[in-house]
């Protein structure tokens, strides 16, 4: 399965806020900023919540799926379609107060490019919030201890549930190709 077909088949849909994102909203309320960039923002549901929490006056989003870009524009978000693995962001240097990358870095072949672009468009003193599954989290440790594949990884994009504890069929981690822990 190609990267294009994977993302263009409506992958963005259903990325509305989940309970684990409450912490992100709490952080955003403390930060507050005039300009927000949400990278990999899906249909924009969480982007709107971030905008409200930050009291942002301007919001932009980057998304790879064309149907997600349309959904973002319908919500009033300045949306740009591009592949963050390869393309530069269409913004000036030092433009944004806050950049949010929620559950996206683990899907990239080249996370360094993302981080370089975030650094470029973020104002000095600005904030970047990045969330990603923790490979060293207890569920993954338990799975490994019992001889199963960690939840945040997959052996194949077509059979992501293979070798996973509790998962059935093709249920898996939806294209995670990089894994991270809380230590660097």
Q: Please name the residue that has the structure tokens 């672009």.
A: 117
Q: Please determine, for residue 11, whether its predicted confidence score (pLDDT) is greater than 80.
A: no
DSSP string for 38-92:
EET-TTSHHHHHHHHHHT-SEEEEEES-HHHHHHHHHTT-EEEE--TTTSPPSS-
For residues 36 and 95, is the Cβ–Cβ distance under 8 A? no
d(CA 180, CA 134): 6
Could you count the other beta carbons within 10 Å of the beta carbon of residue 100?
26
Tokens representing 121 are: 């468009």
Inter-CA distances, 62 with 99, 166, 179, Å: 11, 34, 22
Q: What is the mean pLDDT of residues 91-107?
A: 94
Q: According to the model, what pLDDT value does residue 87 have?
A: 96
Q: What is the mean pLDDT of residues 143-147?
A: 91
Q: Please determine, for residue 94, whether its predicted confidence score (pLDDT) is greater than 90.
A: yes
Percent of the chain with pLDDT over 70: 84
pTM, whole model, 2 decimals?
Answer: 0.84
Q: Please determine, for residue 183, whether its predicted confidence score (pLDDT) is greater than 50.
A: yes
Residues 134-159 as b or e (16 or more Cβ within 10 Å = b): ebeeeebeebeeeeebbbbbbeebee
Q: What are 45-61's pLDDT values in tens digits?
A: 889 989 999 999 999 99
Q: What is the mean pLDDT of residues 29-38?
A: 92
d(CA 141, CA 138): 5
Q: Please determine, for residue 130, whether its predicted confidence score (pLDDT) is greater than 90.
A: yes
Beta bridge partners of 61: 38, 79
Q: According to the model, what pLDDT value does residue 21 have?
A: 79
Q: What is the mean pLDDT of residues 75-97?
A: 96
Nearest alpha carbon to residue 133 among 178, 172, 97: 178
Q: According to the model, what pLDDT value does residue 17 have?
A: 47
Q: According to the model, what pLDDT value does residue 50 have?
A: 92
Q: Please determine, for residue 19, whether its predicted confidence score (pLDDT) is greater than 70.
A: no
């Amino acid at each position: 399965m190609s990267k294009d077909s994977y993302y263009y088949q409506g992958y963005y849909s259903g990325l509305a806020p989940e309970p684990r994102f409450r912490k992100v909203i709490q952080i955003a309320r403390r930060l507050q900023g005039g300009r927000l960039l949400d990278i990999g923002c899906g249909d924009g549901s969480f982007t709107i919540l971030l905008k409200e929490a930050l009291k942002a006056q301007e919001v932009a989003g980057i998304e790879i799926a064309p149907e997600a870009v349309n959904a973002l524009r319908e919500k009033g978000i300045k949306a740009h379609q591009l592949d963050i693995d390869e393309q530069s962001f269409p913004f000036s240097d030092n433009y944004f107060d806050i950049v949010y990358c929620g559950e996206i870095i683990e899907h990239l072949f080249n996370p360094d490019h993302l981080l370089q672009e975030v650094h470029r468009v973020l104002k000095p003193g600005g904030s970047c919030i990045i969330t990603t599954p923790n490979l060293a989290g207890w569920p993954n440790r338990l799975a490994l201890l019992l001889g199963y594949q960690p939840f945040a990884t997959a052996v194949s994009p077509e059979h992501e549930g293979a070798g996973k504890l509790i998962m059935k069929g093709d249920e898996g981690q939806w294209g995670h190709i990089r894994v991270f822990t809380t230590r660097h």
